[in-house]
Amino acid sequence: MDLMEAIRGRRSIRKYRSDPIPEEALQKVIEAVRWSPSWANTQCWEMVIVKDPDKKSALANTLPSTNPARMAMIEAPVVIVLCGKKGVSGFKKGEAMTIKGDWLMFDTGIAMQNLCLMAYSLGLGTVIIGLFDHKKAEEILGVPGDREVVAMTPLGYPAVSGTAPKRKEVSEFVFYETYPSK
């Protein structure tokens, strides 16, 4: 699949078929995360693959009822919970290298995009979920204190094809040489 086609065609999928996905596809998605770039190749990401229906339900319950991705967590055969090891990305000998502190959110964000694009290229759906009770999810999964849950996504065959929300025009976010003066 052409890269631009994957970037433009990938949609957040919030309705899934319950059919299992091939193990080979899951491994390809994991491999796409493995090859993500990261701060000084620190690779702070870790992931928990959840297939157990009770555990998926418990994780779904960490989402507020207003979150439109809630049912997708139950419908899809797999949920991937993306975690990060704290104090690694953006750090050297325990010292933060920039005013940004921990670059964990950045590196796991890239990893999640690789995951979603690979899934899409294999005909699988994803939806990045950030709005949930992270502490509760960490308890459910037994995440150690030096790690944190960042985001999760269902993974499965889409039951619907999503429509693309409108994007900003290029002129609204690209500036040349300097920011325009107000």
Which residues partner with 83 through β-bridges?
A: 46, 149
Contact flag: residue 131 with ligand FMN (CB under 6 A)? yes
Inter-axis angle of helices 104-121 and 23-34, to 10 degrees?
140
Residue in 20, 22, 37, 130 binding ligand FMN, rule: CB under 6 A? 130
Q: Closer CB to ligand FMN, residue 43 or residue 108?
A: 108
Contact flag: residue 162 with ligand FMN (CB under 6 A)? yes
- Whether the CB-CB separation of 153 and 80 falls below 8 Å is answered with yes
DSSP character at residue 18:
-
Contact stretch for ligand FMN (CB under 6 A) within 35-43, 82-90, 126-134, 135-143: 126-134
Q: Roughly how many angstroms between the first and final C-alpha of the chain, as a whole number?
A: 42
Residue in 20, 22, 53, 68 binding ligand FMN, rule: CB under 6 A? 68
Two tokens at 34?
Answer: 């493995």
Binding interface with ligand FMN (CB under 6 A): 11-12, 14, 67-69, 127-131, 162, 164-165
